Amino acid sequence: MPVTEPVRIMPAEGKLGVLLPGMGAVSTTFIAGVEAVKRGLGIPIGSLTQLATVRLGKRTEGRTPLIKDFVPLARLEDLEFAGWDLYEDNAYEAARKAAVIDPALLERVREPLERLNPMEAVFEQDFVRRINGPNVKEGRNKMEKAEMLMEDIRRFQARTGVARMVMIWCGSTEVFHRPADVHQTLEAFEAGLAHNDPRIAPSQIYAYAALKLGIPYANGAPNLTTDTPALLDLARERNVPICGKDFKTGQTFMKTLIAPGLKARMLGIAGWYSTNILGNRDGEVLDDPGSFRSKEETKLSVLDQILQPNLYPQLYGNVFHSVKINYYPPRGDAKEGWDNIDIFGWLNSPMQIKINFLCRDSILAAPLVLDLVLFLDLAQRTGMRGIQEWLSFYFKAPMHAPKVYPEHDIFIQLMKLKNTLRWMRGEDLITHLGLEYYD
């Protein structure tokens, strides 16, 4: 449907604060990357906001501006970072230990990273069992800890003079837990914070602090966090955009490329066996069955949603899907994933696909963090609130309205993202009908 009136977007004036709970591999690779790009030491490969274009109008018009020239995004020069972690390492030390960024390049951005010391974390061992560190807040109850986080944020704002902020969860994966009564209403949640309810996770305390202050929140892990009525209500009430969950990188990213292709050709799938070896701290945390369960949920849901076995029972009614992550320290962040896909074609003839992806998890995640920072800030300046389905593109388990199923097909997600940008600027949405070229 053609849209003629552009939406009113507040300008991206002043600095944008980036709040990062968790200063591990993903966060430090992201920050080091931004600092490198700002100094002309690298290209922000993998980032739509920095490199992608958006086609406008008909294919004959030749209008394809860069996204960053089309919508008013914050500039990299305007980003100011802050983070929390239970380990005391500054961002330079954490990046060196994560061993993702080339050491020579890291030295060239050492100075800004060294200045970035983590604030004390809100942490509970019951939610992340495999790690423990000294840089943790003490408080009488969870409400007091939420207020301490809000105080950290206000101090950061006062010190740096940032005009706006966004928070992206880059902390560890918490153990799987389901929403309980304490998560059902904001009132119950706040009472739970005050009474130290054990069912409120640390990530929910960060999200609560951010939303209370009107700060957009993205969930990079498979944690439950904002998938609860209490925090969804808070986001709407405060007019804050949120999105999640679990960055779509590595093996699941591959899955969302290949599965829609097989389905597009109506090729059947008998089984999909995925296994990984991973040796970083994330791998260590995921070695705990409780944290892995959270990850498994988001990884497994992808195929079912893409293949729609209810519509295609002959092709996808009986897919055996298995996902394993094995902690294997020698590999560090250089994950290796194997997929064996048993497919069948014409007259049930069996075939196989093997994928061996030697990827760098944090290298794939860093540009997603950058895009989410810039797009969430844009969404807020556009007056958008609650779940941002157009940012599903970035997530393994996209948050969605209760009445619709999540969209997992990466190409539909990309179309939705770009159409949202067109809608913001009053451009025609692109339907790909294209009959007019053949009149």
Ligand X SMILES: NC(=O)c1ccc[n+]([C@@H]2O[C@H](COP(=O)([O-])OP(=O)(O)OC[C@H]3O[C@@H](n4cnc5c(N)ncnc54)[C@H](O)[C@@H]3O)[C@@H](O)[C@H]2O)c1
Contact residues for ligand X, defined by CB under 6 A: 21-27, 84-87, 98, 121-123, 128, 131, 170-173, 202, 220-221, 246-247, 249-250, 280-282, 285, 361-362, 364-365
Q: Is 206 helix (H, G, I), strand (E, B) or coil?
A: helix
CB-nearer residue toward ligand X: 271 or 406: 406
Distance between CA atoms of residues 386 and 404, nearest Å = 15
Residue with the two structure tokens 């070896």: 277
Angle of helix 229-237 relative to helix 186-194, nearest 10 degrees, comes to 110
Q: Do residues 167 and 214 touch, judged by C-beta distance below 8 A?
A: no
* 3-state SS, one letter per residue, for 103-150: HHHHHHCHHHHHCCCCEEECCCCCCCCCCCCCCECCCCCHHHHHHHHH
Q: What is the DSSP letter of 4?
A: -
How far apart are CB 201 and ligand X at their closest, in Å? 8
How far apart are CB 125 and ligand X at their closest, in Å? 10
CB-nearer residue toward ligand X: 149 or 387: 149
CB-nearer residue toward ligand X: 123 or 375: 123
Non-local (6+) Cβ contacts of 378 within 8 A are 9, 12, 71, 72, 73, 424
CB-nearer residue toward ligand X: 175 or 262: 175
Strands 241-244 and 386-387: parallel
Neighbouring CB atoms inside 10 A of 132's CB total 11
How far apart are CB 430 and ligand X at their closest, in Å? 29
CB-nearer residue toward ligand X: 230 or 365: 365
CB-nearer residue toward ligand X: 255 or 281: 281
Q: Which residue is nearest to ligand X (CB)?
A: 24
How far apart are CB 29 and ligand X at their closest, in Å? 8
How far apart are CB 434 and ligand X at their closest, in Å? 36
CB-nearer residue toward ligand X: 87 or 217: 87
How far apart are CB 158 and ligand X at their closest, in Å? 22
How far apart are CB 251 and ligand X at their closest, in Å? 10
Distance between CA atoms of residues 221 and 243, nearest Å = 11
CB-nearer residue toward ligand X: 49 or 219: 219
Tokens of residue 125, six digits: 């061992």
372, with CB counted inside 10 A (0-12, 13-18, 19+), is buried
Q: What is the DSSP letter of 204?
A: H
Amino acid code (one letter) for 216: P
How far apart are CB 119 and ligand X at their closest, in Å? 9
4, with CB counted inside 10 A (0-12, 13-18, 19+), is exposed
CB-nearer residue toward ligand X: 118 or 216: 118
How far apart are CB 400 and ligand X at their closest, in Å? 18
| φ/ψ (deg, to 5) at 229 | -55, -40
